[in-house]
Chains A and B, each alone.
Chain A
Amino acid sequence: MVTIELKRARLVIYCRNLKFEWTIDPRYWRNPLIGVLILMLALLSCYFFKNLRFLQLFAIANVYAAIAICLSWSAIGSGRLNFGPQFFIALGGFTAGLLNMRYGFDIFGTLAGAILITLAVGFLLSPLTIISGGLYYSLTTLIIPLILLQITYVRVDIFGGESGIGPIAPLVNVGDYYLNQLITGMFSLVLLLAYLLIVDRIFKSRYGVIMGAINEDEEVAASLGVRINAYKIVSAAIPAAMLGITGWFFAHSFRTFAGTTYLPLDVMLKILLITMIGGRASIYGSVLGAYFVTLIEDFLRQFGQINYVLFPLTLLLCLLFLSEGLWGLYRKRKYREYYPAIRIRRR
C-alpha cells in the first residue's frame, strides 16, 4: 500500500515499511547530480528527437557558461572587472586553427598549444592587475581585444580578415553527423562541469577567502600578510588559459575561426550579461544565465529583423527587474558577495 502525504515543503511517500521523502522546493535540492542529469538529458533528448538546432544551442550555452565562470574567477581573484575575456578566446582559437592548418597539429597538439600560448600571454598581461585598477583596468582590457581585431584585419594573410581561417580539423568525426554533434555537446558539458568544479572548489578553499579579502580591501589584505600580487597574477593567468581552451573548442567544433565573430564589443557584452543576468559573479548563476541568454536569442529569431531590437530590449528588462539575477530567485538567502567594484566615482 502506497500513501503520499504533504508535510510542509516535503512530499512523504510511505510504501509498506519504507519511507521516502522529497523536498518540493527546488531551492533545497542540494544534489548536484540533479543539475548534471538535467543538462545531460537535455542533450540526449535533442539527439534522440534529432533536434540539431537545440543540440548546437545547448553546446554553445555550455561553453558560454564556462567562459562566464572564468570571467567570475578572474574578476573575484584580481578585484578587477575584465572587459576583454574575448581576447583569450580568440587567442586560443587562432592558435588552435593556425597550428592545425599550417603545421598539421592534431586536436591534442592544438589544445596543448592553445593552453601554452594563452597561459603565457595571460601571464605576460597579468601585471596589468597590479599596475592599473578600477576603471583603468577595465578600459585597458577593453582595448586589448580591439587591437587584436585590428591586427586580424591588417594581417589577412595570417588571420583571414573578416572571413577568418578554416577549414580546421573537426573536434570529433565518427561518421554520423548527429552523433558528432552529440559528442561535441557532451564535450562542452564536460568542459562546463570541469570548470564549475574547479572554480567552486577554489572559491570554497583558503584561496577563495583570500580572494574575498583582496576584493574587500587590497591594502588591508596586504597588511595582514597576504601576497596580493601573487594571487592576482594567478587569478589573471589561469582563467586566461581556461578561456583559451574555450577558443580551442570553438575553432574545432565550428571548423572556422574569425576575429569578427569573437572579438567585437558585443561578444564581451553578451558574456557580461550572462554573468549579471545569471547572478552577479555566481558561478552556478552563470549556467542559468548562459542558457537563458542563448535560448532567448534563439527564440526571438522567429520574429525576423525586429529580433535585433527585441533581444537587447529583453536583456535590458531582465537587468532592470532581476536585480539579483536568476540565481537570486533560486537561492534561499542573500549571502555576502565579493565582487569587484569599478570604483570610478569619488564619494
Chain B
Amino acid sequence: MLNPAPILIYVLIYGSIYLLASLGFSIICGVLRIFHLGYEYVYALTVYLTWMFIFEFGLELPLALALMILGQFLFAFLLYKGIIVRYFEREEYLLTAVILVAYIVDEAINYRYPVTVGASLPTVLLRGTTNIGGVNVSNQLLIIIVVALLLTVAFAIFFLKSRIGMAMCAVSQNVLSARYCGVDTDKLFALAFILSTIPAIICVVLIAPIWSIEPSMGWPLLSTAILISVLGGLGNLKGCIVASYIIGFVYSIVAYLLDPRYISLAGLLVTLVLLLFKPTGLVRAETIW
C-alpha cells in the first residue's frame, strides 16, 4: 500500500525550495523580458561572501549577512549597468555575456576558496526534527516551506498593491505603454534586477546547512529554475508557483517510487513534453502576475 504522507511532505519541501530558487529568475524574466542565464552566480556568491565576512574578517553572522546582501545588490546593479543595458536589444549576446559573468564568478570563488576549504554557513534557525504522518522532517526544512510561502505572498502584495509593483506589472505587460504613462523603465528594470536576488539569497541561506556547498552549487538550482520558469510560462509568477510544486511532485514521486538518480531526467522530460504540447508554458507570459 502506497503511503502518500512522505510524498506529500517532500512535494512541499522540494516545491518550496525550488520556488525560492526560481522566484527571482522569474521576476527578471517577467519584468525585463530577458533570460538571465547567469543568475547562477547569486547562489554561490551568497554562501562565499558570507563565509568570507565571517571567517576572513571575523564578523558576526547578522553583520556578515547584511554586508553580503549589500554586496549582492551592488554586483547586480553593476551587472545591469555594464551588460544588461548594453545588450538589451541583442539577446544572444546578452545570454552569452551573462553566462560568462557567472563562470567568472564561479571560477574566482573556486580559485580563492576551492571545494577543499569546506565552506559552510551556520544558518540553522531551528534544530531537531518533527514527526508528520510518520515521517521525521528536519525543522529547518519546515521553516523553508513557511518562508517560501510568506515571501511569495509578500511579492504578490508588492506587485498588486504597491505603486512600484504595479509599475513593474505595467512594464511586464507593455514597456512602451508603460513609458508613455511616465514610468521610468530604466530605474524600474534596475530595481527589479536588484530585487530578484532576494529570493535566491534567502533560499541559499536557509538550505546552506543541509545542502552541498561548492562554488558551482548554483548550476543545478539554475537548471531547475529554468525548468520551472519555462514550465510555468516565462516570467509569470502564478505559473512559477504552480510549476515549482509540479516539479517538486515529479521529483518526490520519482525518488520515492523509482530511483533518486532519475529525478533530473524526469523533470527535464516532463518539461520537454509539456513544451511540445503547450509551447508557451502553463500560464501565458503576458504579465508578471
The chain A residues found within 8 Å of chain B, CB to CB, are 81, 128, 131-132, 135-136, 139-140, 142-144, 146-147, 150-151, 153-154, 265-266, 269, 272-273, 276, 305-306, 308-309, 312-313, 315-316, 319-320, 341-347
Cross-chain contact B272 with A305 (CB below 8 angstroms): no
- Cβ–Cβ contact B103 & A266, under 8 A: yes
Known: A139-B226, A344-B234. A309 touches B104 (CB 8 A): yes
Q: List residues of B (253-289) whose CB comes within 8 Å of A's CBs.
A: 261-262, 264-265, 268-269, 271-272, 275-276, 279-280
- Which residues of A have CB within 8 Å of B34? 344-345
Contact B280 A140 (CB under 8 A): no
Of B104, B223, B276, which contacts A131 at CB under 8 A? B276
Q: How far is the CA of A136 from the CA of B95 in the complex (A)?
A: 14
A residues in contact with B107, CB < 8 Å: 308-309, 312
Given A313-B104, A316-B101: A344 and B33 interface contact (C-beta under 8 Å) = yes
Contact B104 A144 (CB under 8 A): no
CB distance from A328 to the nearest CB of B (A): 13
> What does the 1/0 interface line of B91-119 toward A look like (CB < 8 Å)?
11101110111011001101100000000
- Is B230 at the interface (CB under 8 A from chain A)? yes
Assembled-state Cα–Cα distance A192/B276 (Å): 34
Q: Which residue of A lies closest to B227 (CB)?
A: A143
Assess the A147–B96 pair: CB atoms within 8 A: no
Known: A136-B279, A139-B275, A346-B33. 14 other contacts (CB 8 A): A135-B35, A139-B230, A143-B227, A143-B272, A269-B96, A269-B100, A273-B100, A276-B93, A312-B104, A319-B93, A319-B100, A341-B92, A342-B91, A342-B92
Decide yes or no whether B151 CB sits under 8 A from chain A. no
Q: Report if B176 contacts A (CB, 8 A).
A: yes
- Give the top 3 A-B pairs by smallest Cβ distance, nearest first: A345-B33, A150-B265, A342-B91
In the complex, chain B residues whose CB is within 8 Å of the CB of A312:
100, 103-104, 107
Q: Tell me, yes or no, whether B53 is within 8 Å of chain A by CB.
A: no
A to B CB contacts below 8 Å, 25 in the list: A128-B276, A132-B279, A135-B35, A135-B234, A136-B230, A136-B234, A143-B268, A146-B268, A150-B265, A150-B268, A266-B103, A269-B100, A272-B92, A272-B96, A309-B107, A309-B111, A312-B100, A312-B103, A319-B100, A320-B86, A344-B33, A344-B34, A344-B35, A345-B33, A346-B33
Q: Is the interface of B mostly helix, strand, loop or mixed?
A: helix
CB-contact partner of A347 in B93, B175, B234, under 8 A: B175
- With A273-B96, A308-B111 as contacts: A140 and B33 at CB distance below 8 Å: no
Number of interface residues of B (CB under 8 A): 42
Query: Given the complex, which residues of A lie within 8 Å of B136, measured CB to CB?
Result: none
A139 to B272, CA, bound (A): 9
Interface bits B55-92 vs A (CB < 8 Å: 1, else 0): 00000000000000000000000000000001010011
Chain B residue with minimal CB distance to A339? B92
Q: A140-B275, A319-B97 are in contact. Are A154 and B111 (CB under 8 A)?
A: no
- Is the Cβ of A269 less than 8 Å from the Cβ of B276? no
- A265 adjacent to B99 (CB under 8 Å): yes
State A319–B223 Cα separation when bound (angstroms).
Answer: 24
B201 to chain A, nearest CB (A): 23
- At the interface, yes or no: B130 with Cβ under 8 Å from chain A? no
Partner of A316, one of B104, B227, B230, B269: B104
A-chain residues with CB within 8 Å of residue B262 when the two chains form the complex? 154
- A147-B268, A341-B91 given as contacts; is B275 within 8 A of A132 (CB)? yes
In angstroms, Cα B108 to Cα A313, docked, is 10
Q: A150-B264, A342-B91, A345-B33 are in contact. Are A309 and B108 (CB under 8 A)?
A: yes
Query: A315 touching B100 by the CB < 8 A rule?
Result: yes
**B159 close to A (CB within 8 Å):** no
Beta-carbon nearest neighbor of A132 in chain B: B279
